[in-house]
Amino acid sequence: MLLNSSIKFHHFKDDHNRVKLEKIEGQPLSDYINASHVQNGMPIYSGMNNIYSTISGPKKTTLADFWRMIWEQKVERIAMLTNLVENGAIKCIRYWPEKVNGIPVKSDRFTVELIKEDIWPDFTRRQMEVSKKGGNGARSVTQYHYTTWPDHGVPSHATALWRLFRMLTNDADNTQPIIIHCSAGVGRTGTLIAMDYLLDQASKENGIDVYTCVNALRQSRMCMVQSLEQYKFVHLAVLEAHTVGSTTFSAAEFMSHYSALNRQSSVSPHTVFSEQTEVCLIGDGSFHVFLVSYYFSLIE
């Protein structure tokens, strides 16, 4: 752990809810890592189903601490919302092997192996095994890597992001924390967490309060939901998910779903499909959003 360079670079965390590592003997400040607990007793998050820890994208100087945190916090799932390089700038180092069953990544006391990789158009799921020198056996960690979210920007639609989110939250025991990171661990990271909370709020209260949600997030970590575009995207993403729900189904189910969508609607002379693909005008009409984007999967 290179503490001085780490502290100089990392300036986003709040001390009251930071993730604390176990101290290394002889290194009194070795409990530091630029990571924050989001669910920290705040009333607005008392009903959240998922426990999140946010962190900036690992660098060479913080890789050992990153895997130490994963191990100590017993993390099973990681959501990565940045690419390794964006606009010519390095946003995060590759902290997993480049190929399945390829050369393991080794850092300090940890060895990381890539066991399986599933690739979709907008994201990749990687199953890894992490072992600790002197430890008993390996642990399974799954990474969900969203690959089409531009830095400081937003995806073109929320459909694939919601699909990744459902996989992220359904694939394992929700009693363990989910690590979410982008590059700085604030903009894209905060947007995804806000989407989760607000969709839950919409279903329970029949309304959402985006401002209060984002304000509460920023009490955990400054600059969460970093840009105006991301703030607007939160509204549109929750609108899509709350109005339409999941539109993912396997290729084998395509014909039955298509036939159902082609039937005349019970409330209008149009088909269900044409109703669902109507353009929704937001605010002053400067934003045009299709309420539905269908996502087809070849997985049976």
| Phi then psi dihedrals of residue 230, to 5 deg | -65, -35
d(CA 161, CA 28) in angstroms, rounded, equals 40
Domain boundaries, the chain: 18-246, 247-299
Pairing of strands 178-181, 52-55: parallel
Of 225, 246, 68, nearest in space to 162 by CA: 246
The structure's pTM equals: 0.81
Tokens linked to 62: 């913080």
Pairing of strands 110-119, 105-107: antiparallel
Q: C-alpha distances in angstroms, 115 versus 67, 83, 90, 122?
A: 17, 20, 25, 21
Which residue shows structure tokens 């930071």?
A: 18
Of 2, 118, 102, nearest in space to 58 by CA: 2
Instruction: Tell me which CATH code domain 18-246 carries.
Output: 3.90.190.10
- pLDDT at site 137: 87
Sequential pLDDT tens for the chain (300 residues): 334 444 444 444 567 788 999 999 999 989 999 999 886 334 343 345 577 888 899 999 999 999 999 999 999 999 999 999 999 999 999 999 999 999 999 988 999 999 999 999 999 999 999 999 987 889 999 999 999 998 878 998 899 999 999 999 887 666 788 999 999 999 999 999 999 999 989 988 888 999 999 999 998 898 999 999 999 999 999 998 988 777 776 778 778 877 877 777 676 777 766 766 664 444 444 444 444 444 444 444
d(CA 178, CA 196) in angstroms, rounded, equals 12
- pLDDT at site 39: 65
d(CA 113, CA 285) in angstroms, rounded, equals 49
d(CA 210, CA 234) in angstroms, rounded, equals 8
The full length of the chain comes to: 300
Distant-in-sequence, close-in-space partners of 200: CB < 8 Å, separation ≥ 6 = 47, 48, 49
Supply the angle between the helices 187-205 and 159-170 in degrees, to the nearest 10. 80
